[in-house]
Amino acid sequence: MNFFFAKIFAFSIFAKHNLKINEKYSMNGKVRPKKALGQHFLTDLSISERIAGALQYEGQALEIGPGMGVLTQYLYKREGFKAIEIDDESVAYLLVNFPGIESKLIKGDFLKLPLEIVFQGDFAVIGNFPYNISSQIFFRVIDNRNRIPEVVCMIQKEVAERIAEKPGTKTYGILSVLLQAWYDIEYLFTVGEGAFNPPPKVKSAVIRLKRNSRENLGCDEALFKKIVKTSFGQRRKTLRNSLKTLFPTADFSPEIFNLRPERLSVEDFVGLTKYFS
């Protein structure tokens, strides 16, 4: 048994042992929402059913942040399902209310989860994401793109729009370019504040990301990322002004350098990366 599984195993025993203490709140009551963990529990069941139904991939799946299981109830009996939840109280609630979930539930931080140990082969990602770490979740998805064929998630509406936007719009940004390089993105539907407890201050939206057929960018990927990030670092500046700090001796006379970064597609950024390579 390797170290990681030893940890999961130890956790299961610990969880069983702890059930009596936790039963007190998890049987009678609900989990108390904690702001620091981005907890806004979805209470509208028709919406959670739609989110679960939006997942088209039929293989293994990972749910991030199951909370009280409003989405999990439609997913956890699938083969190859796993969920990762950071909150002790939510974990205790799930263990009591979802018999059989124990072997599929990992207590911990998704951002630190060793994905290569938890899953062999491809897996989809699904969840009503903790909004405070949604960008970090997407950066992990990008890093693991060749094993993650699909993502269905609820996030802050503005972030959803930004990710799904085409070039030329105001909100198109770093994540739009980096995600669109590898995924086709569909904005599925908007969800109002009233569907949650407690209601968040912002509207939410559900999006679906499906891995496109691109195998590589055809340019140096690290440099591509650096160029995208630097260009959008000061998005009101022209590319010339933003990029000359990175490439002080380059020729910035081509027309494209008069543009602002939001006008450039993934292919344009690939072209720029080749230009500077």
Residues in contact with ligand SAH by the rule CB under 6 A: 37-42, 64-67, 70-71, 84-87, 90, 109-111, 128, 130, 133
Q: Are strands 81-85 and 61-64 parallel, antiparallel or unpaired?
A: parallel
Q: Are strands 81-85 and 124-128 parallel, antiparallel or unpaired?
A: unpaired
Q: In 185-220, which residue ranges form alpha helices assigned H by DSSP?
A: none
Give the separation between CA 245 and CA 108, rounded to whole angstroms. Answer: 40
What minimum distance in Å lies between the beta carbon of 15 and ligand SAH?
Answer: 16
Q: Which is nearer to ligand SAH, 91 or 177 (CB)?
A: 91
Q: Which is nearer to ligand SAH, 40 or 145 (CB)?
A: 40
Give the separation between CA 254 and CA 110, rounded to whole angstroms. Answer: 43
What minimum distance in Å lies between the beta carbon of 32 and ligand SAH?
Answer: 11
The token pair at 57 is: 């991939």
Amino acid residing at 1: M
Distances (CA, A) of 201 to 40, 94, 110, 196: 10, 26, 24, 11
Select the residue whose beta carbon is closest to ligand SAH and give its number.
65
What minimum distance in Å lies between the beta carbon of 119 and ligand SAH?
Answer: 16
Q: Which is nearer to ligand SAH, 89 or 262 (CB)?
A: 89
Q: Which is nearer to ligand SAH, 126 or 270 (CB)?
A: 126
What minimum distance in Å lies between the beta carbon of 179 and ligand SAH?
Answer: 19
What minimum distance in Å lies between the beta carbon of 159 and ligand SAH?
Answer: 14
Q: Which is nearer to ligand SAH, 106 or 178 (CB)?
A: 106
Q: Is the dihedral of CA 42, 47, 53, 55 positive or negative?
A: negative
